[in-house]
Copies of this chain bind each other. A is one copy, B any other.
């Protein structure tokens, strides 16, 4: 997440992106075993770069490794959703608080720009309303990153980034619930307004609430 830019520099990087995408999109499901033979066929390369890709994915919690039994897709659970949500509220809440306190004009610009880009396109796809638009997801991620980008703590940013990726898998489950009783767009705008108004505590509280609502909307998937 920090040292590589795009696909093409190394095959291991390509494999990382390919497998990550397969997990994100649900092409391989939680709990599925990831056989090297299949992955080599999917990525079109030998075992070595695939192995390195899986090592990175495991570090980020997308896959798990059992010695001599190979890798498999990390499974999802209600317990983990709640756990990750709580940790995210703690870490990203504090990161936002610091960011609001320390942010300069440049940071304000990044937040406004990111929000504008995200608000300009709809969240759901037109052809399949139950699915999220890929580009909206990307801009949504950029917006949240922009909010905390001025916190001044690389380690906190790294943690938040990993937790965001991890929560992303759960978020994709909930798209069909979108439009029910929730105003996600409004929550995002309010988040931006509080940040720009330099209300550090208020913004942090709004962010925690935002994540709490997201988690609550997702809980239904595990009770059924």
Contacts and interface: CB of A to CB of B under 8 A. Distances in A.
Interface of A: 3-4, 9-10, 13, 48, 51-52, 55-56, 59-60, 64-68, 80, 83-84, 86-87, 90-91, 94, 153-156, 159, 163, 166
Contact of A65 (B3, B80, B94, B155): B3
Contact of A90 (B60, B68, B94, B166): B94
A139 B10 CA distance: 41
> Chain A's interface: helix, strand, loop or mixed, by majority?
helix
A156 B87 contact: yes
Most chain-B CB neighbours within 10 Å: which of A9, A86, A87? A87
Kindly list the 3 A-B residue pairs having the minimum CB-CB distance in the complex, ordered from nearest: A59-B59, A55-B55, A87-B155
**How many identical chains are in the complex?**
2
Given A48-B48, A66-B3, A67-B9, A153 B83 contact: yes
Contacts of A86: 153, 156
A165 to B, nearest CB: 12
B154 A83 contact: yes
